[in-house]
């Protein structure tokens, strides 16, 4: 089958979802009011609350939510064949992610632009807010570990990308300085930075001396370096330590110094990446070689594991934090929420779609696919590498040599992952500080104590799982846990929207059904993983780490479900203010 | 050259130019929108940074006037030995034998 069809059908589904479903939701369920005074106008302060045109806000929302996760998840999930992943990404975006992102935006706009956490406190109660804090804590911890692995893995696999990624740091600081102190525009400097990075990428792809290949420095994959660690294992260890030192510094700097200029360059990369992949797809028109359903995938069933393997790209709780954290404070008119929220989710769906297409077209034959995706563990470890190769193949459609494209695509993925890492370590620091002040542990509220706790726990988590390449290389095993915690967060947000709709006497099934679906799938998947895979029950091997964290998350799943039932069956809810 | 009805070559040339202008304008507008999208979060952070600086400045300069203890005093106390001699000279010049301010211990 020609893979362009996948893109065309996916786009049609997204278009119908936006044109009809979101319109119906906007008019009949969320009942957007063009005359409602949004927080951006009501609390206008020139800093956080600023009325912003919908196109600009959409772009900002999209670039904030699109990252490496909608690439990694689909690249693993095609293990079960392209059809389940394709259906979950397209239908999930339309019926789950769309209403979730859109709904959290509207909910926050109707609640003075407050964040989901504060609204949880208001709608359900203080206990639920604490629960919410812990879920985010688990989520960011997983994000830190998984993305540190993603970056280390790409550095080991594609050493040509290292130089450009490290060049981005001084370039970003330079741009931040130029804009802040000299009041210069950003477009030209950031384009120069991008040109320098890609120039270095082209050079490094062709000149081996510029490839910072730790495995080679350590004497190859088979060598033993020290403490009995192999070359690959040692490379992972060194990269993870370097990354952790980097995020410690990056996450304690003011945002404008490094994080935002990096984001600025990364937005160009997102546009460049999407353009290269979709244009390449149109010109190359590769055949889908992966099967629609992989009959050989028998070790773990796609149902329900698919729904936690692809989180971002189908539904992601992280989006609710962006919707209610920044976007809701800048919405000019309430009716813009549909464009910003729903279309923001669609944007990520488009990215996940091309990730699926890149992976299902990269193999020459079905046998190659089956060999690469021989087990779920192999899919988790190799999925991202397959995406990079697939994306490089698509790029040859617009006459970019495959080796250069591979370097550039891995730079793009690493840049996304690094920014996510930076943001989530920062977020983790805030949450640790908040938990510290909640339980009166003064030490935790100090920046450097909180950051140390965040960085050390993340480093420990990424180093603990044992991968086939030894110590440090098994971070991908945490991927399902990342998906689970992300889905749980989405479930809580959907619960809030449903409660809000119910108290208004409106039809809340639009968010209630996705919520039940998400809770059910995560519960089932976690029980399956924790009890049958990680506990040592039956043929499985006991994995203390995954069993422990999985068990903890499982407790949270039960807790949330109990809170949800309690919140829904409450007869006399606290009254809502009129304008809500 | 004056254009007459039916002059196809000139008309098509004009159309092409108009098309080119339109395209150029649209491209410029698209770049402006793109630039604004990327600048949006940065603008927020710069505004926040400037607001924080302003807050600090106001606090250091005017807090005493409003009856709020100035946190900077804790640090400026170190300057006491540097300024004390000049202060002593000043109150003698001004015709006061003893320090007029109770808070400052001089002679």
Residue B47's contacts (CB-CB under 8 Å, 6 or more residues apart) are: A46, A47
d(CA A276, CA A402): 12
- Chain A residues whose CB is inside 8 A of the B31 CB are 187
- In this structure, are residues A313 and A349 in contact, taking their beta carbons and an 8 Å threshold? yes
In the prediction, which pLDDT does B15 show?
Answer: 59
ipTM of the complex: 0.78
Distance from CA of B63 to the nearest CA of A (A): 23
**B contact test, residue of A56, A176, A262 with most B CBs within 10 A:** A56
d(CA A43, CA A329): 9
Cβ of B37 within 8 Å of Cβ of A60? The answer is yes
In the prediction, which pLDDT does A398 show?
Answer: 94
Q: Which of A52, A185, A271 sits opposite B40 (nearest CB)?
A: A52
Read off φ and ψ for residue A572, nearest 5 degrees: -115, 80
List A residues 15-54 in contact with B (Cβ-Cβ < 8 A).
46-48, 50, 52-53
How large is the angle between the packed helices A376-395 and A69-77, nearest 10 degrees? 120
Candidates A250, A66, A319, A50; CA nearest to B46 is A50
Cα A317-A322-A327 angle, rounded to 5 deg: 140
In the prediction, which pLDDT does A269 show?
Answer: 93
- Mean pLDDT taken over chain B: 80
Q: Is the Cβ of A255 closer than 8 Å to some Cβ of chain B?
A: yes
Read off φ and ψ for residue A296, nearest 5 degrees: -80, -10
Q: Which of B33, B46, B48 sits opposite A56 (nearest CB)?
A: B33
For A404, how many CA atoms within 13 A lie in the half-sphere containing its CB? 15
Q: Is the Cβ of A254 closer than 8 Å to some Cβ of chain B?
A: yes
In the prediction, which pLDDT does A291 show?
Answer: 95
Q: Using one digit for the tens of pLDDT, what is the confidence trace for A394-425? A: 999 999 999 999 999 999 999 999 988 988 99
Q: For residue A271, what are its two tokens?
A: 């546009």
- Chain B residues whose CB is inside 8 A of the A261 CB are 42
d(CA A409, CA A443): 42
In the prediction, which pLDDT does A231 show?
Answer: 82
How many beta-carbon contacts under 8 Å exist across A and B?
64
- Helix (H) or strand (E) holding A164, with range, is helix A162-182
Q: Which of B36, B38, B46 sits opposite A256 (nearest CB)?
A: B46
d(CA A511, CA A500): 11
d(CA A159, CA A204): 9
Distance from CA of A421 to the nearest CA of B (A): 18
Residue scoring higher pLDDT (B8 or A381): A381
Q: Is residue B3 very low, low, confident or very high in pLDDT (cuts 50, 70, 90)?
A: low
In the prediction, which pLDDT does A578 show?
Answer: 47
Q: Which of A59, A180, A256 sits opposite B37 (nearest CB)?
A: A59
In the prediction, which pLDDT does A6 show?
Answer: 96
For B51, name the nearest residue in chain A, comparing CA atoms only: A47
Cβ of A180 within 8 Å of Cβ of B49? The answer is yes
d(CA A496, CA A128): 11
Pick out chain A residues at pLDDT < 70. Answer: 539-540, 571-580
- Helix (H) or strand (E) holding B93, with range, is helix B80-93
**A contact test, residue of B30, B35, B42, B53 with most A CBs within 10 A:** B42
Find the distance separating the first CA and the last CA of chain A, reported in whole Å.
50
- Chain A residues whose CB is inside 8 A of the B48 CB are 47-48
In the prediction, which pLDDT does A256 show?
Answer: 82
For A64, name the nearest residue in chain B, comparing CA atoms only: B41
Asked, as a colleague might, if the bond just before A304 is cis with ω within 30 of 0, I would say: yes
Residue scoring higher pLDDT (A13 or B30): A13
Among all chains, which residue has been given the structure tokens 């981005």? A168
- Mean pLDDT taken over chain A: 90
- Chain A residues whose CB is inside 8 A of the B39 CB are 186
Cβ of A179 within 8 Å of Cβ of B33? The answer is no
- How many Cβ atoms sit within 10 Å of the Cβ of residue A157? 17
Q: Is the Cβ of A121 closer than 8 Å to some Cβ of chain B?
A: no
In the prediction, which pLDDT does A227 show?
Answer: 73
Q: Is the Cβ of A190 closer than 8 Å to some Cβ of chain B?
A: yes
- Chain B residues whose CB is inside 8 A of the A184 CB are none
For B31, name the nearest residue in chain A, comparing CA atoms only: A187
Say if residue B101's pLDDT is above 50: yes
Read off φ and ψ for residue A104, nearest 5 degrees: -65, -35
In the prediction, which pLDDT does B70 show?
Answer: 83
């Amino acid at each position: 089958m020609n893979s362009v069809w996948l893109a065309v059908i996916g786009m049609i589904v997204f278009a119908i979802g936006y044109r009809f479903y979101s319109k119906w939701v906007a008019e009949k369920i969320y009942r957007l009011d063009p005359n409602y005074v949004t927080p951006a106008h009501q609390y206008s302060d020139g800093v956080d609350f600023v009325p912003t045109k919908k196109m600009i806000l959409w772009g900002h929302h999209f670039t904030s939510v699109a990252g490496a996760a909608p690439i990694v998840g689909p690249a693993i999930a095609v293990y079960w064949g392209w059809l389940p992943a394709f259906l979950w990404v397209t239908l999930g975006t339309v019926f789950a992610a769309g209403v979730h992102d859109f709904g959290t935006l509207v909910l926050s706009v109707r609640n003075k632009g407050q964040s989901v956490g504060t609204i949880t406190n208001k709608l359900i109660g203080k206990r639920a807010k604490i629960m919410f804090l812990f879920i985010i804590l688990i989520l960011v911890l997983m994000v830190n570990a998984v993305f540190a692995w993603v970056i280390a893995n790409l550095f080991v696999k594609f050493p040509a990308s290292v130089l450009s990624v490290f060049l981005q740091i001084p370039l970003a600081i330079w741009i931040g300085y130029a804009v802040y102190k000299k009041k210069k525009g950003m477009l030209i400097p950031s384009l120069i930075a991008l040109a320098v990075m890609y120039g270095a990428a082209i050079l490094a792809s062709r000149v081996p001396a510029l490839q910072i290949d730790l495995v080679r420095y350590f004497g190859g994959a088979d060598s033993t370096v020290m403490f009995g660690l192999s070359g690959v294992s040692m490379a992972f260890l060194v990269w993870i330590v370097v990354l952790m030192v980097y995020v410690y510094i990056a996450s304690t700097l003011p945002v404008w110094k490094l994080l935002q200029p990096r984001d600025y360059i990364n937005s160009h990369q997102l546009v460049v990446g999407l353009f290269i992949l979709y244009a390449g797809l149109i010109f190359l028109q590769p055949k889908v070689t992966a099967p629609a359903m992989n009959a050989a995938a028998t070790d773990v069933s796609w149902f329900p594991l698919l729904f936690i393997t692809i989180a971002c790209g189908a539904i992601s709780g992280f989006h609710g934090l962006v919707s209610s954290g920044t976007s809701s404070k800048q919405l000019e008119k309430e009716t813009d929420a549909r464009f910003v929220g729903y279309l923001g989710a669609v944007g990520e769906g488009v990215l996940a779609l091309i990730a699926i297409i890149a992976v299902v077209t990269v193999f020459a034959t079905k046998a190659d696919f089956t060999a690469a995706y021989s087990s779920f563990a192999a899919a988790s470890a190799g999925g991202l590498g397959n995406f990079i190769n697939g994306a490089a193949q698509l790029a040859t459609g617009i006459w970019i040599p495959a080796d250069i494209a591979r370097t550039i695509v891995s730079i793009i993925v690493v840049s996304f992952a690094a920014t996510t890492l930076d943001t989530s370590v920062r977020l983790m620091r805030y949450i640790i500080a908040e938990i510290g002040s909640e339980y009166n542990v003064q030490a935790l509220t100090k920046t450097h104590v909180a950051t140390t706790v965040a960085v050390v726990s993340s480093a420990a988590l990424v180093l603990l799982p044992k991968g086939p390449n030894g110590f440090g290389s098994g971070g991908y095993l945490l991927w399902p846990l990342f998906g689970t915690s992300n889905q749980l967060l989405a479930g809580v947000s959907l619960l809030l929207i449903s409660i809000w709709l119910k108290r208004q006497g409106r039809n809340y099934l639009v968010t209630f059904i996705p919520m039940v679906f998400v809770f059910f799938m995560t519960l089932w998947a976690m029980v399956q993983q924790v009890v049958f895979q990680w506990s040592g029950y039956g043929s499985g091997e006991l994995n203390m780490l995954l069993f422990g964290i999985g068990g903890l998350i499982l407790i949270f799943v039960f807790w949330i479900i109990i809170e949800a039932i309690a919140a829904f069956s409450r007869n006399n809810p606290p009254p809502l203010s009129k304008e809500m | 050259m004056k254009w007459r009805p039916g002059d196809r070559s000139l008309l098509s040339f004009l159309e092409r130019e108009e098309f080119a202008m339109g395209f150029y304008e649209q491209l410029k507008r698209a770049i402006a929108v793109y630039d604004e999208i990327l600048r949006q979060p940065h603008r927020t952070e710069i505004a926040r940074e400037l607001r924080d600086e302003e807050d600090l400045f106001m606090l250091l300069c005017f807090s005493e006037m409003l009856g709020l203890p100035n946190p900077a005093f804790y640090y400026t106390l170190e300057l006491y030995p540097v300024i004390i001699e000049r202060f002593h000279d000043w109150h003698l010049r001004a015709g006061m034998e003893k320090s007029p301010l109770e808070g400052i211990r001089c002679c």
